[in-house]
Amino acid sequence: MINRFFRHIKEGFINIFRNLAMSISSISAVTITLILVGVFIVISTNITSISDSIKSSLNIVVKIDLDITDDDIAILQEKVSTIKNVSDVEFSSKHDELEKQINLYPQQAEYYRRHQGKNNPLHNIFIVEVTDASHLSAINEQISSLNGVHTAEQGGDGVETLVNALNSMQKTGWIIVVILTLLAMYLISNTIKSSIYSQREEIGIMRNVGASNRFIRAPYLVGGIIIGILGSIIPITLAYFGYSYLYKATGGMLLSKMFVIQPIFPFVIYLSAILLAIGVGVGLVGSFISVTRFLRWKR
């Protein structure tokens, strides 16, 4: 059994070198395909990360009526927190809000200090965090309808549009990944087909002496797997060093802390494993389809 296993591996390499030009073409096709697949996986995965980061930082600023009592504020906060898809409700007094303005605009600090105490014209507010951007407008409307709420302001359609656009880009990326994978599978299938055709007389002899289809098929399946592995070496190398460089160059974020990308580890490990699995899978399936079609016959 072990001797047969190594024999299939040996014959798989022989088949690759016997049709070296076609094998190199297939390996190149797998390499280019996996590089593009890797790029789209990086983009798609980080779109998910960015989208989740945006969703987790979404909030609605609720200004409370000036004449409402502290007890009513507590009741209102409880009502807001019970709204579906609201994850957190934080109270900030008008005095805290004025201090934020002083710290945010130090050049105008003296002006703001004149309004401290009873002269403070600001509103007490709630900072409401939501779980999903798709519910932002609906939650905003529910909060606005509550007694004691002066105004409720949120990112509006712009935030939802951004999240929806990111999700659409992610879906498009995965569709392209599937198309490229099928293309590589087709090219490998043609390579194995050429290899089988050039050895059709040998296969005929093997059949005449009683060799099973499984025995005949094995070396070609091994050859397809080898092509997939060889084609994945460069993409995996580029994925590891390329993404590491990208992460260090950007500091792990794009533009702001809201757009956080995946950390190097374990992401590059998962990405490398996915690329290797796709390479092996494409080689195996492509060769299986080709050799099975050739061996289909009636006894």
State the DSSP H helix or E strand holding residue 146, giving kind and residue range, or none if neither: none
CB atoms within 10 A of CB 148: 17
Residue type, position 113, single letter:
R
User: What are the structural domain ranges in the chain?
Assistant: 2-54+160-295, 59-154
For the stretch 189-227, pLDDT in tens is 777 777 777 777 777 777 778 888 888 888 889 988 999
Question: Side chain identity at 74, as an amino acid letter?
Answer: A
272 CB-near residues (< 8 Å, 6+ apart) = 236, 239, 240
Looking at residue 260, the DSSP 8-state letter turns out to be B
What residue has token string 């509006």?
156
Distance CA 184, CA 174 (A): 15
Q: Which burial class, exposed, middle or buried, applies to 200 when counting CB atoms under 10 A from its CB (0-12, 13-18, 19+)?
A: exposed
- Torsion from C-alpha of 195, 199, 204, 208, nearest 10 degrees: -110
Write out the CATH class of domain 59-154.
Answer: alpha beta
- pLDDT tens sequence for the chain (299 residues): 677 777 778 888 887 887 787 788 888 888 988 998 899 889 888 887 777 766 666 788 899 999 999 999 999 999 999 999 898 999 999 999 889 888 877 777 788 788 888 888 899 999 998 887 768 888 999 999 999 999 998 755 566 677 777 778 878 878 887 887 788 778 777 777 777 777 777 777 777 788 888 888 888 899 889 999 999 999 999 999 999 999 999 888 876 666 778 899 899 999 999 999 999 988 888 888 888 877 775 34
Provide the phi-psi class of 117: left if phi over 0, else alpha when psi is between -120 and 50, else beta. Answer: left
Task: Give the HSE-up count for residue 31: Cα atoms under 13 Å, Cβ half-sphere.
Answer: 14
C-alpha 293/C-alpha 248 separation (Å) is 49
Report the SS3 class of residue 91: strand
Task: Give 83's DSSP letter.
Answer: S
Three-class DSSP category at 226? helix
Which pLDDT tens digit goes with each residue over 47-62?
877 777 666 667 888 9
Alpha-carbon Rg for the chain in angstroms: 31
